[in-house]
């Protein structure tokens, strides 16, 4: 079989040569700005250069080359990525096999564990406490796998439970402070109170869906965490007793209740919240900008994310985004780490906000951006991220966990299937994928 693989590898290599995806040896002068005496660092990002996000990366790299002139030269390559994750990840996968990974590459937050467990990325060089302290807790947590820091992102994200101030005032409902969120039961009571009012407006109390893809686990896993449960074990290698735990079942059944009692529409209706026909909406932080820009009539507020009855004040709200990591192929870990730190640092963070309105990942960047001081909604989302941000499950089989979560939610909440049966089935399916890691 070894021989067979050598043959296969040779064929791929031949194809690779033809396609030109071999790791190139770059000499000073080959690329503009790369001078003798500088160490060459290659960098891949999952974006197109023409986008605002791409421009932010380009400018950050240019600044890096200015600041580290004479020591390092970073060469950025833009690799387009489509919505379902193809493109960029295909290129990474191909390079894992044929060689040619860059020194630094971007990794989606929840995939850090899989990349680390499979030796595609290596732990970053040691960061001082001061250097670590720059970053939000959630970003460090996201980049850490089995006790080692692998990745640092320039972007963070958050999800808000938005409300329409006019509607809540009309119904006489007071929104609690950040530290005292509504529990599921309290929230259900409020939805019940709002239902007749919203029906009169031709809408629903809650604008919510269980979308396919990453959004479902991102939005709704907090309901499990705040209820004292977890999706995977601490080491990420076990799901039995976690994914099918009673806390998980409770969260799923909470959603079933919301659907059954008609607090939300079973089929997604577009712009329900934005057209003033829903009192609440759960959505990403981008919603604030959308409402401000396109729906100025809506008086927007952000309520604390709802928690389970047994919430102990711990971290539970959604976070996470793409991050930079050093590939295992990199022979210059020190340089790669410098590049990662720079690309995710304060200056780059302020830039990513200015250009693409994505949340930065460092305290100082948030402090430097006016809107997080002056606008109550942005301020709220930042505080929530700082105090309560919780990364998504860290497990090498994350993709399976994510799809299983969405499917379980759909089966339980929308199709009314038996909760425990659905969850046990999911555990079986995830376990099959985990085998690869547990048998080693």
Partner 1 sequence: MKKRSSSLLGMAFFGPALVLLTIFLFVPMVLTLIFSFTDYFALNPDLTHFVGLENYGKIFRDDLFVKSFFNTVCFVLIILPCQGIGALALALLINRVTHCKKYFKVAFFIPVVMSLAVVSTLWMQIYSPEGILNTMLGNLGIPAQPFIHSAKQALPSIAVMSVWQGVGYQMIIFLGGLQAINPGLYEAAEMDHASEWQKFKDITLPELKPLCVFVFITVTIGAFRMIVQPMVMTGGGPSHSTYTMVYNIYETGTVNWEIGLASTMAIVFAIFVMVLTVIQSILTRDKEEGKHVNKKAKGN
Neighbouring C-beta atoms of residue 149, cutoff 10 Å = 21
Nearest-angstrom CA–CA distance, 55 and 337:
22
Find tokens 């690309």 and name the residue. 343
Q: Which of 28, 29, 77, 86 is in the footprint of partner 1 by CB under 8 A?
A: 86
CB burial of residue 279 (10 Å; 0-12, 13-18, 19+)? buried
Find tokens 């700005």 and name the residue. 33
The C-alpha angle 46, 390, 379, rounded to 5 degrees, equals 85
Least Å distance, CB 270 to partner 1, is 7
DSSP for 237-276 reads: S--TTTTTSHHHHHHHHHHHHHHHTTSS-SS--TTTTTTT
Q: Contact, 242 vs 231, CB < 8 A?
A: yes
Neighbouring C-beta atoms of residue 93, cutoff 10 Å = 11
80 binds partner 1 (CB under 8 A): no
CA 379 to chain centroid, in Å, comes to 20
* Touching partner 1, residues 270-289 (CB under 8 A): 270
150 binds partner 1 (CB under 8 A): no
Retrieve residue 385's tokens: 């991220």
120 binds partner 1 (CB under 8 A): yes
Q: Which of 175, 387, 399, 431 is in the footprint of partner 1 by CB under 8 A?
A: 399
Nearest-angstrom CA–CA distance, 49 and 266:
39
Least Å distance, CB 362 to partner 1, is 29
Give backbone dihedrals phi and psi of 190, rounded to 5 degrees, phi first: -65, -40
Q: Cβ neighbours of residue 135 under 8 Å, at least 6 residues apart?
A: 152, 344, 361, 362, 363
4 binds partner 1 (CB under 8 A): yes
262 binds partner 1 (CB under 8 A): no
Q: Which of 64, 78, 115, 263 is in the footprint of partner 1 by CB under 8 A?
A: 115
Q: Cβ neighbours of residue 403 under 8 Å, at least 6 residues apart?
A: none
Retrieve residue 249's tokens: 């079942």
**Which residue, 15 or 26, has its beta carbon nearer to partner 1?**
15
* Touching partner 1, residues 333-372 (CB under 8 A): none
Least Å distance, CB 12 to partner 1, is 8
**Which residue, 140 or 408, has its beta carbon nearer to partner 1?**
408
CB burial of residue 238 (10 Å; 0-12, 13-18, 19+)? middle
Least Å distance, CB 89 to partner 1, is 7
Retrieve residue 349's tokens: 């963070």
Which of the ranges 144-152, 312-320, 381-389, 407-415 carries the binding residues for partner 1, by CB under 8 A?
A: 407-415
**Which residue, 90 or 309, has its beta carbon nearer to partner 1?**
90
33 binds partner 1 (CB under 8 A): no
93 binds partner 1 (CB under 8 A): yes
200 binds partner 1 (CB under 8 A): no
**Which residue, 120 or 136, has its beta carbon nearer to partner 1?**
120
11 binds partner 1 (CB under 8 A): yes
417 binds partner 1 (CB under 8 A): yes
67 binds partner 1 (CB under 8 A): no
Least Å distance, CB 370 to partner 1, is 37
Least Å distance, CB 440 to partner 1, is 8
Residues lying near partner 1 in the complex (CB under 8 A):
1, 4-5, 8, 11-12, 15, 18, 84-86, 89-90, 93, 96-97, 114-115, 118-120, 211-213, 265-270, 397, 399-400, 403, 406-407, 410-411, 414-415, 417, 425, 429, 433, 436
């Amino acid at each position: 079989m070894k021989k067979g693989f050598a043959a296969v590898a040779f064929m791929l290599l031949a194809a690779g040569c033809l396609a030109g995806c071999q790791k190139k040896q770059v000499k000073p002068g080959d690329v503009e700005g790369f001078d003798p005496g500088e160490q060459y660092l290659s960098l891949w990002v999952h974006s197109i250069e023409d986008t605002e996000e791409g421009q932010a990366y380009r400018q950050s790299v240019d600044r890096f080359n200015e600041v580290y002139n004479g020591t390092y030269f970073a060469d950025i390559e833009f690799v387009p990525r489509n919505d379902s994750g193809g493109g960029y990840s295909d290129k990474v996968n191909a390079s894992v096999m044929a060689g040619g990974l860059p020194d630094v590459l971007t990794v989606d937050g929840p995939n850090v564990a899989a990349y680390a467990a499979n030796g595609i990325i290596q732990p970053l060089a040691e960061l001082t406490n001061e250097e670590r302290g720059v970053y939000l807790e959630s970003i460090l947590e996201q980049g850490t796998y089995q006790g080692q820091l692998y990745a640092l992102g320039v972007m963070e994200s958050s999800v808000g439970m938005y409300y329409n101030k006019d509607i809540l005032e009309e119904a006489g409902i007071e929104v609690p402070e950040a530290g005292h969120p509504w529990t599921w039961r309290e929230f259900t009571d409020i939805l019940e109170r709002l239902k007749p009012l919203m029906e009169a407006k031709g809408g629903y109390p809650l604008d919510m869906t269980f979308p396919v893809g990453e959004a479902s686990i991102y939005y709704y896993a907090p309901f499990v965490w705040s209820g004292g449960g977890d999706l995977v074990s601490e080491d990420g290698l076990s799901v039995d007793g976690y994914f099918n735990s009673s806390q998980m079942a409770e969260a799923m059944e909470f959603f079933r209740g919301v659907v059954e009692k008609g607090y939300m529409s079973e089929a997604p209706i577009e712009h329900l919240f934005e057209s003033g026909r829903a009192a609440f909406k759960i959505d990403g932080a981008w919603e604030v900008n959308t409402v401000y820009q396109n729906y100025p009539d809506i008086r927007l507020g952000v309520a604390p994310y709802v928690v389970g009855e047994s919430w102990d004040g711990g971290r539970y709200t959604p976070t996470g985004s793409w991050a930079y990591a050093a590939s295992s192929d990199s022979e210059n870990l020190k340089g790669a780490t410098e590049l990662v730190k720079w690309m995710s640092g304060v200056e780059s963070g302020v830039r990513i906000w200015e250009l693409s309105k994505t949340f930065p990942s460092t305290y100082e960047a948030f402090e430097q951006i006016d809107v997080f001081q002056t606008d109550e909604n942005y301020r709220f989302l930042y505080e929530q991220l700082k105090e309560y941000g919780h990364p998504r499950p860290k497990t090498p089989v994350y993709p399976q966990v994510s799809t299983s979560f969405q499917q379980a939610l759909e089966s339980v909440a929308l199709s009314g299937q038996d909760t425990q049966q659905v969850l046990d089935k999911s555990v079986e399916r995830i376990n099959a994928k985990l085998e690869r890691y547990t048998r080693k």
